[in-house]
Amino acid sequence: MDRAAKQELVTTLHDVFKDTGVIVVAHYAGMTVAQMTEFRKRMKEAGGTVKVAKNTLAVLALKETNSEGISNLFKGQTCIAYSSDPMVAARIAVKYSRENDKLVILGGAMGSNILDSASVKALADLPSLDELRAKLIGLLNAPATKIARTIKEPGAKLARVIQAQASKSEAA
């Protein structure tokens, strides 16, 4: 890489570190090209990105960002997974690391919060925004459904009594 390309990469990474919702740093030593391609594909389909950058360039890009505290994670063969949605990068990276033991989650950052590997895994296990909305709607609909059922029940009871009487008189 020439000097201009390095500067471009540092600038790009700096913007990424400033603007993304979550950053996950992982070791990928021992992964094949096919495995790394699969990891990148899954991340892209979910709306995230995986980038492999030289550690010194990544540390330079971290300067003057909220995520500067994760610079100590950049040792060895590291890759960066990031997404604007805080759940996506963590969820895909953790899921893939469970399937492939060569991808080891080191930690990450969410805004100015520094996350260790356990925190990244806990973040990945949280329900998504859509799941939380569905649960909330279900909780809001439950009382209305119960009220409607309670109001409807006396009429249904009366209809069953009349039906029973009608079938009793038909049988006689």
Same domain, 97 and 144: no
Total domains in the chain come to: 2
> Do 167 and 105 have their domain in common?
no
145 with 84, same domain: the answer is no
| Together in a domain, 103 and 132 | no
**Do 108 and 169 belong to one domain?**
no
Find the domain containing 33 and state its range: 3-126
- In this structure, the answer to whether residues 36 and 76 fall within a common structural domain is yes
Strand, helix or coil for residue 24: strand
Residue 22 β-bridge partners: 83
117 and 148: one domain?
no
Does one domain contain both 23 and 61?
Answer: yes
Structural contact between residues 34 and 110, judged by C-beta atoms closer than 8 angstroms: no
Q: Alpha-carbon distance 22 to 31, whole Å?
A: 23
> CB of 117 within 8 A of CB of 107?
yes
Residue with tokens 């540390």: 59
- In order along its 172 residues, the chain shows pLDDT tens digits of 788 888 888 888 888 888 888 899 999 988 999 999 999 999 999 889 999 988 898 888 888 888 888 888 899 899 999 988 878 889 999 999 999 889 999 999 888 888 888 888 888 888 877 888 888 888 887 777 777 777 777 777 777 888 888 888 777 6
For residue 172, the 8-state DSSP code is -
- Residue 99 C-alpha from the chain's centroid: 16
